[in-house]
Structure 1
Amino acid sequence: MFVVNRPLQVVFRSCAFLVACLIGAQSARAVEFEAPVVSRVDLELRIGEETIDVIHRGDLLTVLKEDGDNVLILTFNGKRGLVDRVNVANLAESVEVYDELLKEFPSEARYYTLRASAWWARGDEIAALGDYDMAIEKGYKEAHAYSSRGMFHAAIGNYDKAISDYTTAIEIDPADESFHINRAAVYMSQNRFDDAINDYNSALEIAPEKASSLQQRAVARKLAGRLQEAVADFTEALKVDPNHVPALMGRGFLHYQSGRHEKAIEDFSAVISLNPKAADAWNNRGYNRQQSGDFAKALADYDEALKLAPEYVLALTNKSWLLSTCPDEKIRHGKHAIEAATKACELTEFKDIGGLKALAAAFAEDGQFEKAIGWQEKAVELAPDAQKDGELKLLEQYRDQKPMRLADNG
């Protein structure tokens, strides 16, 4: 995950101003901001005759609310005001604003960094990268310029160049934890988990009680095989922020992997309490309930996941598997299992071995062993070598007219 650097505010003097209506001087907090806009003209924010803040052409402004022809904005200095919509441009539409500014101020390298943001908003990473190259070439050596260019390099897969830029940013400003986190993210993409952990360590030395950094280090430790340390990091993140959903999901999955199904159920239940529409949490809790032998509640969780996400392949497969193979005959239902598995296979174009196995098991439960054999044969074809013997054993079971049960699968 990349940490987005705060935008650079560029200030130049100008003679003429348009007047914008000031709303308040306090900073906005706990507001879900919309995409930023760019000032097309120079503006003043005033209370009566008093100028409270000055907005320059090309400045990035945070949008708090749009209301018809007016936009409620927040300036870099934390002042709120209403501006006419015609006086601001959406970030993706602001390239021309910066083109004009660069014609007037060709040596002002910071405008290249701002135009890069506009290119990025348009989805043109190459143009954005070119503008950061130009800014740095013209002498703009701020740490965030290297970090931002590193982000663009990472986005297009230039990982070594991204690491080089993040390293330069860290050398310039080692106290900014976002640079360490950004470099760690690139190390993660290269499976260099120990290097990523070292960067997360540095970030946490700078900002010790940051749940997101603890959660990200937990993921790195998990992927490095340091599972107990990963659980400890997830737990520490939840001490900092008990409602941190990624930490709950991550710890729940590690509990599942370690066979601690009741603890996994607790974590996924906490996620559901925080976000009842989290289909993956319903599915994960259902699977852990299934592993704990609570089959009825497991089925209910799969159904809820599928209400929220009707094309959720894993939940469809899990539901079908439970309906086909559950030791409790009151839960089993061959036809419903066939429906769920068929939909899962259709969504994956019949190329997923898990869906094919579920479909074979569903037909076996319904007594249609010829179809079960046919689908299991396709599963055998797709199975990796290490799994093939088990799939062949299951195929023989269907040829013997025996449906599968969960106990048969270990």
Structure 2
Amino acid sequence: MENKSKKTKSIIGIALIILIGMVVWSMIDTRSKWKHQELGIAEYGQGNYKNAIKHFTSGIASNPGNASLYNNRGLAYFKLKEYKKALSDYDKALELNTDFAVAYCNRGLAHFKSTSVPGTTEKDQIYNKAIIDFTKAIALDPKQIVDAYYNRGLTYNQSIHYYRKPFTDEVEGTYQKALSDFDRTLALDPGYALAFAGKGNAYYRHGDWNTAEEEYNKAIELKDKIVEKWGKNSLAGVFSSRARNYIALNELEKSGSDYEKVLELDPRSTAPSGHGASVWFQLKNYDKLIEAYNKIIDLIENDSEFKNFSGIGRSYAGRAKTYYLLGQYDKAIADYHKALSSGSAEGHGYSITEVHRYLGKTYLSTGKRQAAENELEKAIKLYGDKTDSKIKRVASGGYTGRGACWIDLEEYENAISDFENTLALNTPFDAQKDRGYAEAHKNLGLVYWKMGQMEKANEYLNKAAGLFEDSGKKYQAKELKEALKTGDVKDLFS
């Protein structure tokens, strides 16, 4: 690709966002007569971004009117994840050259990626800024800036979430814009394999999971081209996206297989210890779980890039739970304490309250009754705070978690009361939306089993198995049916 200046020629730089396989082709002036420009490009090409910044900064000092130098330094800052500095440099590049299409594309990507910084708020406004920049790049160079179409499509995707159905007309319109941008990308460059994965992401977020699978398969059929053009990490991103889609389709074996490929292709990916963990927990593949957690925890403890990783608490807690299920209680206790001391805020896949509950369960397994009661009481208080929430999902989770604590403390009447409250919150039952209804029936069955009331226990457990089946949760249904067949439900308490 060429930028508009006849005096410049461009080379390619790649920036990858793993979770959604995002790539931008960034352009750097290589015909500059200034040595700092050439030296900066050389260092950038070798991945020495700090040295590249020093050379570009020296070049700017001697030639402050060169927009390409600011754009190039912005690329180096972007690689170092210093997005504010990158944005500042792109701003200056565009101030010097208002028709610099590539700088608009790069600034749009920097806006997009900046939303991944912990503590970032007003993400929708930032995505809007990214869309404006990609749109400007397209207007300036509609045939050459194929990446702007692709990146804008991925940015549109962020407004689409199937769990927010029914969609407004505005969201449906955004969904159509995303699909249109990916189609335009492929029309301009039929070999842009990642655009198929982009379409897959759009369909996934819209809830069209079978169609999403078809698009991911198209991308993976071109896996050699993806590796050649964008690298193994990009291919890992595609497998990660398809694996997540298989979770929605409740095809856990296929999902687990894809997450194994992610582990092989990109050891730095956080996906196997995130969504992948939920799959391997259900499949009881504890060896793969330990492998995934060990890799991410090694990065957390030894790689400076992961010092602000938002999943620190989740990773320690996940490995602790795996150790607990394997009966390695000392290791589980050590990891639960690391999770609590990590300072991680509650978020997707991580609950401080659940850490206290499982730490209590682990202490019970080691015979430390007083320590167990202390942790379970902490959990009961925290779950109680959630039961007052006006958000049904949060309140339901509060009752469910607290009920589980009551079981561990053998206070069965309290447990029954909490699980019945969960049922009430999830009535009438919507198989596509409600997660707690079937679980509440299962939990009530387990309480009555503990109390020795087998007829009532079997009634609730059979009802739960049917509800799981109606919801497409075939693995949970199978586990329950097998337990009912053998009469051994002890493992269900874990």
Output the TM-score relative to the length of structure 1.
0.65
- In 2, the alpha carbon distance for the partners of 1:376 and 1:224 equals 36
Q: What does residue 333 of structure 2 align with? A: 338
Judged with a 3 Å threshold, the aligned counterparts in structure 2 of structure 1 residues 376 and 199 are, in CA distance, closer, same or farther, namely same
**Partner AA of 2:377 in structure 1:** G
Aligned residue number for residue 301 of structure 1 = 288
Q: Deviations over 1:239-276 (max 9, x none)?
A: 11066211222222222343322212222233344456
Report the alpha carbon displacement of residue 200 of structure 1 after superposing the two structures with TM.
1.8
Does 2:187 correspond to 1:184? no
Report SS of the residue matched to 1:181.
helix
- What is the percentage of aligned positions where both structures have the same residue? 15
The verdict on how the C-alpha distance between 1:158 and 1:99 changes in structure 2, with shifts beyond 3 A counting, is: farther
Of residues 29, 43, 46, the one that matches 1:9 is: 29
Any unmatched runs of 5+ in structure 2?
A: 1-16, 115-124, 161-170, 225-231, 301-311, 347-351, 387-393, 412-446, 451-488
User: Hey, what's the Cα distance between the residues in 2 that align with 1:350 and 1:135?
Assistant: 42
For 1:200 and 1:259, locate their aligned partners in 2 and report how far apart those are by CA, in whole Å.
Answer: 27
* Secondary structure of 1:259's aligned partner: coil
Q: State yes or no: 1:361 paired with 2:364.
A: no
Q: Secondary structure at the match of 2:272?
A: helix
Q: Which segment is superposed worse, 258-267 or 270-279?
A: 270-279
The corresponding residue for 2:245 is 254
Determine the C-alpha separation between the residues in 1 that align with 2:257 and 2:92. Answer: 49
Matched position secondary structure for 1:94: helix
Residue from 170, 186, 201 that aligns with 2:138: 170
Unaligned runs of 5+ in 1: 15-37, 41-55, 72-88
Number of equivalenced pairs: 330
2:203 is equivalent to residue 224 of structure 1:
no
CA distance in 2, matches of 1:377, 1:63: 53
Are the structure 2 counterparts of residues 129 and 391 from structure 1 closer, same or farther at C-alpha, using a change threshold of 3 Å? Answer: same
Relative to 1, partners in 2 of residues 1:405 and 1:349: Cα closer, same or farther, differing over 3 Å? farther
Match of 1:236 in 2: 218
Q: Name the SS for the 1:301 alignment partner.
A: helix
1:277-308: CA deviation from partner (whole Å, max 9, x where unpaired): 7675377666534423xx4xx33223323433
Q: Does 1:370 align with 2:373?
A: yes
- 1:100 aligns with 62
CA shift for structure 1 position 358: 2.1
Residues 45-124 of structure 1 mapped to structure 2, 5 A cutoff: 60-61=41-42, 90-102=52-64, 111-118=66-73, 121=76, 123=82, 124=85
User: Could you tell me whether the CA contact under 8 Å between 1:360 and 1:375 is conserved in 2?
Assistant: no
In the alignment, the residues of structure 2 paired with residue 149 and residue 269 of structure 1 have an alpha-carbon distance, to the nearest angstrom, of: 34
Distance 2:275 2:267 in 1: 13
User: How far apart in 1 are the matches of 2:91 and 2:345?
Assistant: 44
CA distance in 2, matches of 1:228, 1:290: 24
Structure 2 CA distance for partners of 1:115 and 1:263, relative to 1, 3 Å: closer
Structure 1 residue 397 corresponds to structure 2 residue 414: no
1:214 and 2:214 are equivalent in the alignment: no
Q: Is the 8 A contact 1:146 1:165 kept in 2?
A: yes
Per the alignment, do residues 237 and 96 of structure 1 end up closer, same or farther by CA in structure 2, a change over 3 Å counting? same
- Of 15, 23, 35 in structure 2, the residue corresponding to residue 39 of structure 1 is 35
- CA distance, structure 2, for counterparts of residue 397 and residue 7 of structure 1: 61
Residue 305 of structure 2: aligned partner: none
Match of 2:93 among 132, 156, 166: 132
Structure 2 letter corresponding to 1:344: A
Which protein has the bigger strand share?
A: 1
Q: Counterpart of 1:178 in structure 2: which amino acid? A: D
Q: Which residue of 1 aligns with 2:179?
A: 197
Contact 2:52/2:76, CA 8 A, preserved across alignment: no
Q: Do 1:363 and 1:371's aligned partners in 2 also have CA atoms closer than 8 Å?
A: no
Q: Aligned-pair distance for 1:154?
A: 5.1
2:427 paired residue number: none
Is the Cα–Cα contact under 8 Å of residues 379 and 391 in structure 1 kept in the other structure?
A: no
What is the distance in 2 between the residues matched to 1:63 and 1:133?
Answer: 21
Deviation at residue 397 of structure 1 after TM alignment: 1.0
CA contact (8 A) 1:217 1:230 kept: yes
RMSD: 3.9
Q: 2:267, 2:295 within 8 Å by CA — same for their partners in 1?
A: no
Q: Is the 8 A contact 1:200 1:217 kept in 2?
A: yes
Q: Which amino acid aligns with 1:301?
A: K
Q: Larger Cα Rg: Structure 1 or Structure 2?
A: 1
Q: Is the 8 A contact 1:184 1:200 kept in 2?
A: yes
Residues in 1 aligned to 2:333 and 2:109: alpha-carbon distance in whole angstroms: 46
Q: Distance in 1 between matches of 2:273 and 2:30?
A: 47
Would the aligned equivalents of 1:317 and 1:340 in 2 still touch at CA under 8 Å?
yes
Task: Name whichever structure is richer in helix by fraction.
Answer: 2
SS in 1 for 2:29: coil
Distance across 2 between alignment mates of 1:353 and 1:245: 33
Greater mean alpha carbon deviation, residues 176-185 or residues 305-314: 305-314
Structure 2 residue aligned with 1:267: 258
TM superposition score normalised by structure 2: 0.56
Rounded Cα–Cα distance in structure 2 between residues aligned with 1:166 and 1:350: 33
Q: Which moved more, 1:356-365 or 1:155-164?
A: 155-164
Which amino acid in the other structure matches residue 193 of structure 2?
A: A
What SS does the aligned partner of 1:7 have? strand
CA distance in 2, matches of 1:246, 1:359: 34
